[in-house]
Amino acid sequence: MTTPFYGPDFDALEQFDPEIAGVLVSELARIRSGLQLIASENMSSPAVIAALGSTLTNKYAEGYPGRRYYGGCSEVDKAETLAIERCKALFDADHANVQPHSGASANQAVYGAFMQPGDTILSMALPMGGHLTHGTKVSFSGKWFNAVSYGVERESENIDYAEVERLAKEHRPKVILAGGSAIPRLIDFEFFRNLADEVGAIFWVDAAHFIGLVAGKAIPSPVPYADVVSFTTHKVLRGPRAGAIVCKEEHAKTIDKAVFPMMQGGPQMHSIAAKAVNFKECATPEYADYAKQVIANARQLATSLGEHGIRPTTGGTDTHLSLHDLQGIGVTGAEAEQRADAAGIVLNKNAIPFDPAKPNIASGIRVGSPSVTTQGMGTDEMKVIADLIHTAITQGDGDPEHPVAKQVRAGVSELVERFPAYPR
Ligand code: DSN
Q: Is 287 a known active-site residue?
A: no
Q: Is 232 a known active-site residue?
A: yes
Count of beta carbons in the 10 Å neighbourhood of residue 327:
14
* Overall average pLDDT of the 238-248 stretch: 98
- The CATH code of domain 53-283 reads 3.40.640.10
Q: Look at ligand 1, atom 5, and give the residue with the nearest C-alpha.
A: 181
Q: How far is CA 157 from the centre of its chain?
A: 21
Active-site residue, from 133, 136, 232, 313:
232
Burial class of residue 223 (count of CB atoms within 10 Å of its CB; 0-12, 13-18, 19+): buried
Q: Is any atom of ligand 1 closer than 6 Å to the C-beta of 181?
A: yes
- In this chain, the answer to whether the domains covering 53-283 and 288-418 adopt an identical fold is no
What DSSP designation does 249 have?
G
> Ligand 1: distance of its center to the CA of 132 in Å?
9
Q: Cβ(335)–Cβ(348) under 8 Å?
A: no
Q: Look at ligand 1, atom 4, and give the residue with the nearest C-alpha.
A: 40
What pLDDT, on the 0 to 100 scale, is given for residue 389?
Answer: 98
Fold of 288-418: Aspartate Aminotransferase, domain 1 (3.90.1150)
Q: What is the pTM of this model?
A: 0.97
Q: φ, ψ for residue 230 (rounded to 5)?
A: -105, 155
What is the percent of the chain with per-residue pLDDT over 90, rounded to a whole number? Answer: 98
Ligand 1 pocket: which of 36, 102, 131 to mutate (most atoms <8 Å of CB)? Answer: 131
Sequence spans of domains, the chain = 53-283, 288-418
Q: Is any atom of ligand 1 closer than 6 Å to the C-beta of 40?
A: yes
Write out pLDDT tens, residues 360-374: 999 999 999 999 999
What pLDDT, on the 0 to 100 scale, is given for residue 56?
Answer: 97
The C-alpha angle 202, 204, 209, rounded to 5 degrees, equals 175
Compute, in degrees rounded to 10, the torsion defined by CA atoms 121, 122, 124, 127. 70
**Measuring CA to CA, which residue among 239, 253, 218, 266 is closest to residue 105?**
266
- Binding site for (6S)-5,6,7,8-tetrahydrofolate, by residue number, is 126, 130-132, 249
Pair type for strands 67-68 and 175-178: unpaired
> Ligand 1: distance of its center to the CA of 236 in Å?
12
Write out pLDDT tens, residues 142-151: 999 999 999 9
Q: Cβ(62)–Cβ(266) under 8 Å?
A: yes
> Position 379: which residue type?
T
* Overall average pLDDT of the 343-359 stretch: 98
What pLDDT, on the 0 to 100 scale, is given for residue 349?
Answer: 98
Query: How confident is residue 1, by pLDDT bands cut at 50, 70 and 90?
Result: low
Q: Cβ(404)–Cβ(392) under 8 Å?
A: yes
Count of beta carbons in the 10 Å neighbourhood of residue 26:
10
Active-site residue, from 14, 32, 62, 280:
62
Write out pLDDT tens, residues 101-120: 999 999 999 999 999 999 99
Give the nearest ligand 1 atom to 132 CA: 7
Write out pLDDT tens, residues 305-337: 999 999 999 999 999 999 999 999 999 999 999
Q: φ, ψ for residue 318 (rounded to 5)?
A: -115, 0
What DSSP designation does 197 have?
H
Quote the strand ranges of 179-227, DSSP E.
202-206
Helix (H, G, I), strand (E, B) or coil at 241: coil
Give the nearest ligand 1 atom to 182 CA: 5
Interatomic CA distance for residues 184 and 406, integer angstroms: 31
Q: Cβ(63)–Cβ(69) under 8 Å?
A: yes
Interatomic CA distance for residues 267 and 255, integer angstroms: 15
What DSSP designation does 234 have?
S
